[in-house]
Structure 1
Amino acid sequence: MRRPLALVYRGPAAKPVECSEAAAELLSSSPRRFDVCYVGPKERLEISPRTLASATLYIQPGGGGLKRGYRAMKSYKKVIREFVGDGGRYVGFCLGGYLAGASPGFALLPGDTDQYISTCGATVRSTDETVVEVLWRGRARYLYFQDGAMFLLRPDARGVDVLARYRSGEIAALAAPFGAGRVAVAGPHPEATSDWFEDAGLHVPGGSGFDLGHDLIEAVMA
């Protein structure tokens, strides 16, 4: 039986490259047993209607700042929106979550994004690498975090599955419909591998969040 194909962006909007590689590792370890390929301006596969037509899922990893990331990705906005609108799946981590918003971004969410650390009640105020506590499906968990997004819903948003909230109550992860497809986003990094924490000198109570990353993928594939 042919396994579903997942595409992971690797390019200037996903720096360092470990962001793309961690997303690929998460997909490869998923119970859905994805085949994983990288796409990007210097990869064998480019982001195009033909490439996306063969895929089930597209992942936009974390990376640098939103404005710089959007400049690198804005030429792909139309094709990514059409892919999801026609039944594809989009997953965005950190910058990939910001890019799912509208100001600027691909406008895939029933709302928009904002910077969590700048909000009243935020438990993290710095852009440095750290660990953030979230309530994931009501259970306290700790995830790698570096200036991730929170997600704002329009009053008319329907069919949204809120997976996690920051301790302040703001949305940290969700899945929602877009056209015939679905979108899932996370401000923190449930895809972070153990070396991310080790390199930053961070301790995570409860261990890796890979199981939460798998949950995010299942939510978008539902």
Structure 2
Amino acid sequence: MRNLIASILFISSASVFAAATDTATPVTGPTAGTLLVVGGGDKTSIWPTFLDLAGGKDAPIVVITTASPKNGADNKDFQELQALGATHLTLLHTDDRTKANSNEFTAPLREAKAVWITGGRQWRLVDSYLNTKTEKEIFNLLDRGGVVGGSSAGASIQASYLLRGARSGNSVLMAAGYEEGFGFLKNTAVDQHVNTRGRAEDMLQVLEAHPNLLGIGLDESTGIIVRKDRADVIGAGYAHFTAREVGKDRSFELQSGGAFDLGSRHPIDLVSEQAGDQGTTAKDPGTVRVAIYADEGSPKAPDLIEGCLGTLPEKFHLERVTADQIRQGVLSNFDVIAQGGGRASLQAEALGDDGKEKIREFLRKGGGYVGICAGAYLAASDRPYYLRIVNARVVDREHWARGGGDVQIRFTDEGKTELRQETPVVQIRYNQGPLLARDSQADLPSYTELAVYETEIAKKGAPEGVMKGTSAMISAPFGNGRVFLSSPHPERTPGLESILQSAVLWVAKRDTPANP
């Protein structure tokens, strides 16, 4: 995972500002409607957003499968939408331009609330639909406030300049005869699979030949939601925006929760923007407002968390909140909720369905969640009363009461970066926290493993050899927000307070404190 500090420096050095993209006449994005442009790969974290934008699972959705060799009902995207409960899907495919210009073929588009364009090869979309009635009806759908989404080839085709359209192969960036996209995004070129296919520098070649374009590169499992000239980043990776200014290339990398003004070609300062909405002066972007759950099922955790974060008052503003306050919407006043140790079942019962949904809503809008021990149990996906905000299951649940003591954990490369840890192995306090492993929930993205257990606790009849190698600390996106979970207790381990401090700053999308 890339260095979070580098990402923040991209933004802070760019003279960022709040852009009035909701009212201004767009120069790049659609005048009406919404675009969802996705960089390919696993879309489990993207589908809920697409369905929400479309109007729900019962909304009429057209799936255009033409880019893919699997252009029938066996198309993966079509099947995944079906599996998620979309009830009004229409599959649309033809390689006959005469048919693409017919009223009969385009009829589903006139009734649709949303269109999804699958991945595959861009040239197939060009040959079948460019400058046809099908393309016109998709524009009409946008004009009446609809949604157009697409992944991989279905992302690149949405730009005005088409990348990788060559029939001969997708390694050809600019192919004569296949350089025109549908143009939902004007004056742009969109690339995809940036992180997995080594395409980070490819956009520079395109801008050398076409310096007036805005280049947008998307990592896999990452997308942008575009309304007019505003692009909001969602998903697990980075959105890369590159433009040529006075002969020089200026690039910005934004993660989930970031926003970009496509018209001015600069990031949007969300802190100033939110303050402007409230008619107040922007808070110091280094100050994170942390809500600490202090209710049933968490008797000692608030004191421990306050003891850890309270040593940096310039970084953290701390307040305790009750389950009832969460149900009433108090989280809108905070950047992060910290859910500490205790009993996850009691925390879930105190929150109730309404409180748990308020936490999920808070995350979808860009908030952060930090769960420790019981708070990590609560975030998992394998129990109906859990929050289900991380695609993680609990291993050997039968022996959850396996005892407490000191154990060793080993940080992964991602964990050392994300949590700002230089020592690969540390000793940390453990007290019956969850042994986490990857789950297989279709509507949740896979998590990033930050640390694993090197040693174990196996008391009270717990079998030996089970705990070693399971995930001790993990992170994941949820909606526009971020989640960090720790099975052991950094806040109870002298000398490891910086782990929790860095985690809170990471989920809040802020800088990390310097480590001694």
- Same fold? TM cut 0.5: yes
Name the CA distance, whole Å, in 2 between partners of 1:210 and 1:161: 21
The superposition leaves residues 165-196 of structure 1 with CA deviations (integer Å, 9 ceiling, x where unpaired) of 01221101011000110110000001116xxx
**How far off is 1:112 after superposition?**
2.6
Assess, with a 3 A threshold, how the Cα gap between structure 1 residues 221 and 4 changes in structure 2: closer, same or farther: closer
Alignment counterpart, residue 322 of structure 2, candidates 9, 19, 40:
40
Name the CA distance, whole Å, in 1 between partners of 2:427 and 2:388: 28
Aligned counterpart, 1:148:
433
Share of identical aligned residues, percent?
23
The superposition leaves residues 35-91 of structure 1 with CA deviations (integer Å, 9 ceiling, x where unpaired) of 1000015xxx82145311111000001013x33332223341111111111111000
Name the CA distance, whole Å, in 1 between partners of 2:502 and 2:307: 15
Name the CA distance, whole Å, in 2 between partners of 1:178 and 1:36: 23
**How far off is 1:115 after superposition?**
5.0
Are positions 1:25 and 2:307 aligned together?
A: yes
**How far off is 1:142 after superposition?**
1.1
What SS is found at the alignment partner of 1:109?
A: coil
Are positions 1:91 and 2:91 aligned together?
A: no
The superposition leaves residues 23-46 of structure 1 with CA deviations (integer Å, 9 ceiling, x where unpaired) of 1232333597111000015xxx82
Assess, with a 3 A threshold, how the Cα gap between structure 1 residues 32 and 218 changes in structure 2: closer, same or farther: farther
Q: Contact 1:117 / 1:126 at 8 angstroms: preserved in 2?
A: no
State the aligned residue count.
197
Alignment of 1:110-149 (within 5 A): 110-114=391-395, 118=399, 126-127=402-403, 129-137=404-412, 139-149=424-434
Are positions 1:72 and 2:372 aligned together?
A: no
Assess, with a 3 A threshold, how the Cα gap between structure 1 residues 150 and 74 changes in structure 2: closer, same or farther: farther
Aligned counterpart, 2:464:
none
Assess, with a 3 A threshold, how the Cα gap between structure 1 residues 147 and 141 changes in structure 2: closer, same or farther: same
Name the TM-score, length of structure 1 as normaliser: 0.77
Q: Contact 1:176 / 1:220 at 8 angstroms: preserved in 2?
A: no
**Structure 2 unaligned residues grouped into runs of 5+:** 1-282, 414-423, 455-467, 510-516
Higher mean Cα deviation, 160-169 or 212-221?
Answer: 212-221
Are positions 1:54 and 2:333 aligned together?
A: yes
Q: Contact 2:392 / 2:438 at 8 angstroms: preserved in 1?
A: yes
The superposition leaves residues 182-214 of structure 1 with CA deviations (integer Å, 9 ceiling, x where unpaired) of 110000001116xxxxxxxxxxxxx53212222
Q: Contact 1:6 / 1:57 at 8 angstroms: preserved in 2?
A: yes
Higher mean Cα deviation, 109-118 or 171-180?
Answer: 109-118
**How far off is 1:105 after superposition?**
0.8
Name the CA distance, whole Å, in 2 between partners of 1:130 and 1:71: 28
Q: Contact 2:484 / 2:507 at 8 angstroms: preserved in 1?
A: yes
Aligned counterpart, 1:109:
390
Q: Contact 2:338 / 2:369 at 8 angstroms: preserved in 1?
A: yes
The higher-RCO structure (CA 8 Å, 6+ apart) is 1
What SS is found at the alignment partner of 1:69?
A: helix
Name the CA distance, whole Å, in 2 between partners of 1:116 and 1:144: 20
Higher mean Cα deviation, 93-102 or 73-82?
Answer: 73-82
**How far off is 1:116 after superposition?**
7.3
Q: Contact 1:137 / 1:163 at 8 angstroms: preserved in 2?
A: yes
